[in-house]
Structure 1
Amino acid sequence: MPNKYSPSASQIAQPGVRDDQRAIAEAIARSWRRCMVKGVDEQAPVADQIITAQELAQRLEKNRLLLTHAEPEMTTLSEQIAHTRSLVILTDNEGVILRTMGEGVDENEIRASLLPGASWSEEHRGTNAIGTALVERLPISVQGAEHFMAYHHSLSCSAVPIFAANNHLVATLDVSNDLNAPQQHTLALVKMAAQMVENRLFHATAEGEIGVHFHVRPEFIGTLWEGVALFDAQGRLQAINRSGQFQFGLPLDQDVLSARQVQFEDIFDEPWLAFKQRGLAAEVLFPLRLRNGARLFARASSMQAPGLARKPVRPAPRESAASLELLDSGDPQLKSAISQVKQVLNRDIPLLILGETGAGKELFSRAIHDASLRRDKPFIAVNCAALPEGLIEAELFGYEEGAYTGARRKGNIGKIQQADGGTLFLDEIGDMPLSLQARLLRVLQERSVTPLGSSRSIPVNFMLLSATNQKLKDKVAAGEFRSDLYYRINGLAVQLPALRQRQDMARLIQMILQIEQAPQAALSEEVMAVFAAHPWPGNVRQLHNVLRTAIALADGGVIERQHLTHDFLDELASAETEPQVLPVSLPGVSSLKVQSEAAIRQAMLQHGGNISAVARQLGMSRNTLYRRLQALNLS
């Protein structure tokens, strides 16, 4: 077999492309030379290179698949860098912005040039993260004066190119913010999100009969770091993802399949037919050797249709299946909520789920749906706060052809009708406009929906779940929420506890590590102490994002303080100066240190001195608890 298919064991063990700062510096230097050759004036103000609305619409349509698969990862990335005034940007392969998320930078002129339709190619903007990443085909971070044009010296930008199957460059993913608010781990986070988008695109577009999922470390199979190679019925390689190319030592700057046909036996030390028989019958991971003798772990999957694997790469955690039993991780308040739900399940009683942002309301709703008799029918979620007021009516009720300017041909089925037979989840229902509240009430009363532009009523039957982080009674009193709708949706109200109030932090962390397929990951005592003292304004969603990022940055090792992002630690610093509510709230206690000591004392009384039970409740290790008890003279 050619040497290019024979990587060393140390090379293949790497979970992803390394962040080489010298390579970035050299790429920026090359970009500056290109700009000088082209005669770009670094002192000149930039005339915004913005395409017309029609051209943007054409590019959006052309990149619809990219946008579909990038949207969830952009959302996750935006949540990970929340509170940093950063903008998440997706461009096409020419550097034209297609989609943005986040608050963005402070300067109005710069902000205007970061809107959809603006071009950030090197030709238009000089050295910049997006344009230079496209030319160099490498992850790039460009800080302040590293930008060629003085106009951009106030920016800190990190961009990563996105490739479809066989190294076809399709986009960049970028995070931009003010230079005075740099984030240490930004480029690593963008890399992780970009690789997730690549994996989504690969599984949506690549074709083959048999998929081989492989890695030298078995715990990486099923994660974004796994290699995936697709073969046809005769064992010819049809497609391979970027992680697989890297692990095999294949060039990442060209289409490796265009020059010659690559057979299964060119790569692996096993006949193709024997592998098919063994691999497809196996339900667990099995060893597989390369031609040079290096051992991998692998699993095989048959393809039901082009681009659709029987065992695809795991979905993002927010899409993971849940169950009420799994969510019951030891917190008394959550256990009570689950018990109440089980008592009224399948009795046509609408449920109102209360809780702070990020407390897990949608995950809880999905678990309710999965526990109901409607589990095999659709679960349709609508975020009433995320949709513009002008669109939410059409999204909910649907519309007939020609109902309004810009409506799709043949109309559109609304979310309510899509939920027929299943569950309709209305998140942040407190933000629903008053005009729509009346229409929703009519649907609930009449059990039918009338699309916009239509005179016919369509019968619907669904379980209604609603959620809010607001006090709806106060909104009713203020005339901002209909009282009749409030009582219609509030058959049973259940309260989800905020993370800082929960007593199951340690168990919750283990559950998230399982979801992230990192059950062997460990948290240092210092990190556990940080978690115990943190105010967690983003609740469980924030905990999940913090752990997901830390797992990647720790590269499978122990998660230490340096693997936590600056904005997360800044929140802790604020909590230490402004008293926060801890898992046990005691009247008259103001100091964070005093609160922590009081929480330990009360937990010791509650559990009769049982060290293991107290440690679990407070989310810290037994050793840390012993040290704290010695300091309090309670040991």
Structure 2
Amino acid sequence: MSQLSPASAQTALPAMRDDQLAIAEAIERSWRRCMVKGVDEQAPAHDQIITAQELSQRLEKNRLLLTHAEPEMLTLSGQIAHTRSLVILTDSDGVILRTMGEGVEQGDIRASLLPGASWSEEHRGTNAIGTALVERAPISVQGAEHFMAYHHSLSCSAVPIFAANNQLVATLDVSNDLNQPQQHTLALVKMAAQMVENRLFHATAQGEIGVHFHARAEFIGTLWEGLALFDDDGQLRAINRSGQFQFGLPLDEDVLANRRVPFADVFDESWAAFRQRCQGSDLLFPLQLRNGARLFARTSLQNTARARPVVVQARESAASLEMLDTGDPQLKLAISQVKQVLNRDIPLLVLGDTGAGKELFSRAIHDASNRRERPFVAVNCAALPEGLIEAELFGYEEGAYTGAKRKGNHGKIQQADGGTLFLDEIGDMPLSLQARLLRVLQERCVTPLGSSKSIPVNFMLISATNQKLKDKVAAGEFRSDLYYRINGLALQLPALRQRHDLQRLISLILQVEQSPHTEINSEVMALFARHPWPGNVRQLHNVLRTAIALADGGEISLLHLTQDFLEELQAAGQAAGNDQPPRPALTLKAQSDAAITAAMQQHAGNVSAVARQLGMSRNTLYRRLKALALS
């Protein structure tokens, strides 16, 4: 081999963090595997693209994964917008199923990051996706840490995704050009992957009684809670990964399938006593593990984790129309108009910039209607490939196309029967499908692909777009008859820069993120007030969600804002021609170092006081102080 492995080179670096050391060791193991397998590091990688038919079969096999990953990929893509990064979802073999984002600039590499390409270690050598699958752990692979020279221009961060009981099903990855490094990428991918895992767990895990637990009471009902599902006899049926870590037990799929794990083997209490003291109560109570560790817990009954997933419901349906009325006059007008026409079978068209909150507003309309107990079915007309959107909307019969389910599949329109059909980005619907949708809206019947049978449907229609549909009608890109059919009442949502309720909106987002007591310092609030927010409410939500995670329970300060956000603010100030030029955008590390230095001076070197102020552990602060002393 022509060069030392990356991990070997890392040994000369001072004060490497534990997570950095673990990644370096994982990369070194990967390089050794590649050498044993005879992977040629200098040869260009073969594209390893599977056939269209095999990709279709893999997409169908992973339909549940794709359904639950899509919202988190959209969120992650929004968090790293304008960074020329690509969000990638693969299956358990490392084959790319779905991508989002601008992607890398180099055409030859970009072509190998399309759906159908395999990124297993066997095919690509050391890389974030393939190595994360083998190591079953999050990993970042930068530049020359890739085994094959062909990939040295990439920076990649991947996290494996597990279904219930540790079944490895996918990886989530962000890749970008090495010359455009991004701060906190791996942390963001970890959060998104955890959300996908939670969604999959709630959708697939079996059990009658759920025990939600964590060592800190405020973490119950959040992304990081442990969740164990028991049957009526007190036998453990499923447990999420957070729960496994807290139990300290390697409860993989085979263990739960081949032996009984009674409640009393895990908790220091009998099943009967536990059932008696938590009967009919949704309150938190103390619970102790057999190893003596103390937790806080609450229960959910009759398979609640599947029927009403706590985290998913909180994130998707947390806001009512009343909650959204946070003081902005234009939004107040839209809410008032909705209430006047609600339950009158009038189609609604929600207008607003990308990220203005059109889907959240539409969900709130659904929850306020008499259809609230029926499904809210969302379809992003711009996100689905044109070849799949017809099958997604109208469904299909058995054998309608290669790779179709054996018994066919109900389309989104049929799934929305009795509830609400939300067509997001309807301006991007292909013309060929607009005629079919118009017929459904006129006849209130849907005909699946490959079938001659019409199925009656009844739903409330809410459409949304960030485009000027009248202009598209004039250009012949959108049917005028469909435009007037969906536009019973147009509701205009304001851009965030036009709103007058920033403080109350931030409070609402903190509540949705289950962090209502998180404080934001005055300097950050001043930046929020000046920012142009091109990504609107979605961007604000992403900035706050990331800051909450990075602050780890402490006050949100400049330390917890991403470099991309700060650079965007600086660019906006320069474009506005401010008399006083904005301060140069510092790197996050420079901001962090400056904040630590100032806090040490303020508290006369009291490490405990500084750690509390900055929201970090004393051990982390000691490491940062050591690094400052060496720099």
TM-score range, shorter chain: 0.7 to 0.9
1:105 aligned residue: 104
The 5 A counterparts of 1:126-165 are 126-165=125-164
Note closer, same or farther for the CA distance 1:361–1:64 as it changes in structure 2 (3 Å cut). closer
1:379 paired with 2:376, answer: yes
Note closer, same or farther for the CA distance 1:379–1:592 as it changes in structure 2 (3 Å cut). farther
Cα shift at 1:298? 0.1
Note closer, same or farther for the CA distance 1:141–1:316 as it changes in structure 2 (3 Å cut). farther
Structure 2 Cα separation of the partners of residues 169 and 454 of structure 1? 37
Structure 2 Cα separation of the partners of residues 253 and 128 of structure 1? 26
Cα shift at 1:37? 3.7
Structure 1 Cα separation of the partners of residues 389 and 293 of structure 2? 55
Structure 1 Cα separation of the partners of residues 565 and 190 of structure 2? 19
Structure 2 Cα separation of the partners of residues 417 and 253 of structure 1? 37
Cα shift at 1:215? 0.5
Q: RMSD over aligned Cα, in angstroms?
A: 3.2
Contact 2:573 2:581 in 1 (8 A): no
TM-score (norm 1): 0.80
Equivalenced residue count is 566
Cα shift at 1:410? 6.3
Of 487, 495, 499, which aligns to 1:498? 495
The DSSP-based 3-state class of the residue aligned with 1:369 is helix
1:352 aligned residue: 349
1:7 aligned residue: none
Of 553, 556, 570, which aligns to 1:559? 556
The DSSP-based 3-state class of the residue aligned with 1:91 is strand
The DSSP-based 3-state class of the residue aligned with 1:77 is helix
Contact 2:317 2:363 in 1 (8 A): no
Contact 2:199 2:312 in 1 (8 A): no
1:221-259 Cα offsets, whole Å, 9 max, x none, are 111211122334443333332212222333589966589
1:78-108 Cα offsets, whole Å, 9 max, x none, are 2222222222222333333333222321222
**Which consecutive unaligned segments of at least 5 residues does structure 2 have?**
1-16, 583-631
Structure 2 Cα separation of the partners of residues 457 and 55 of structure 1? 31
Cα shift at 1:315? 0.2
Could you tell me which amino acid in structure 2 is paired with residue 166 of structure 1?
N
Contact 1:250 1:256 in 2 (8 A): no
1:361 paired with 2:369, answer: no
Larger mean CA deviation between 178-187 and 426-435 belongs to 426-435
Structure 1 Cα separation of the partners of residues 473 and 505 of structure 2? 35
Cα shift at 1:324? 1.2
Structure 1 Cα separation of the partners of residues 92 and 387 of structure 2? 32
Larger mean CA deviation between 451-460 and 341-350 belongs to 451-460
Structure 1 Cα separation of the partners of residues 50 and 430 of structure 2? 34
TM-score (norm 2): 0.81
1:242 paired with 2:244, answer: no
Note closer, same or farther for the CA distance 1:404–1:503 as it changes in structure 2 (3 Å cut). same
The 5 A counterparts of 1:476-555 are 476-555=473-552
Structure 2 Cα separation of the partners of residues 254 and 488 of structure 1? 50
Cα shift at 1:489? 3.1
Cα shift at 1:158? 0.8
Cα shift at 1:531? 1.2
Cα shift at 1:497? 0.7
1:334 aligned residue: 331
Note closer, same or farther for the CA distance 1:528–1:117 as it changes in structure 2 (3 Å cut). same
Of 305, 309, 312, which aligns to 1:312? 309
Could you tell me which amino acid in structure 2 is paired with residue 138 of structure 1?
A
The DSSP-based 3-state class of the residue aligned with 1:522 is coil
1:219 paired with 2:243, answer: no
Cα shift at 1:536? 1.1
Note closer, same or farther for the CA distance 1:299–1:311 as it changes in structure 2 (3 Å cut). farther
Could you tell me which amino acid in structure 1 is paired with residue 379 of structure 2?
V
The DSSP-based 3-state class of the residue aligned with 1:158 is strand
The DSSP-based 3-state class of the residue aligned with 2:67 is helix
The DSSP-based 3-state class of the residue aligned with 2:301 is strand
1:423 aligned residue: 420
1:282 paired with 2:264, answer: no
Structure 2 Cα separation of the partners of residues 432 and 592 of structure 1? 45
1:208 aligned residue: 207
Structure 1 Cα separation of the partners of residues 439 and 92 of structure 2? 47
1:601-632 Cα offsets, whole Å, 9 max, x none, are xxxxxxxxxxxxxxxxxxxxxxxxxxxxxxxx
Contact 1:95 1:121 in 2 (8 A): yes
The DSSP-based 3-state class of the residue aligned with 2:113 is coil
Could you tell me which amino acid in structure 1 is paired with residue 248 of structure 2?
G
The 5 A counterparts of 1:169-188 are 169-188=168-187
Contact 2:247 2:289 in 1 (8 A): no
Cα shift at 1:310? 5.7
Cα shift at 1:515? 1.1
Contact 1:159 1:174 in 2 (8 A): yes
% identical aligned pairs: 82
Structure 2 Cα separation of the partners of residues 411 and 252 of structure 1? 35
1:309-337 Cα offsets, whole Å, 9 max, x none, are 46634106652243211111111111111
2:572 aligned residue: 575
The 5 A counterparts of 1:430-441 are 430-441=427-438
Structure 1 Cα separation of the partners of residues 445 and 252 of structure 2? 56
Could you tell me which amino acid in structure 1 is paired with residue 359 of structure 2?
E
Structure 1 Cα separation of the partners of residues 256 and 460 of structure 2? 50
Contact 2:72 2:195 in 1 (8 A): yes
Contact 1:167 1:255 in 2 (8 A): no
Could you tell me which amino acid in structure 1 is paired with residue 312 of structure 2?
P
The 5 A counterparts of 1:368-407 are 368-398=365-395
Structure 1 Cα separation of the partners of residues 522 and 350 of structure 2? 34
Note closer, same or farther for the CA distance 1:270–1:565 as it changes in structure 2 (3 Å cut). same
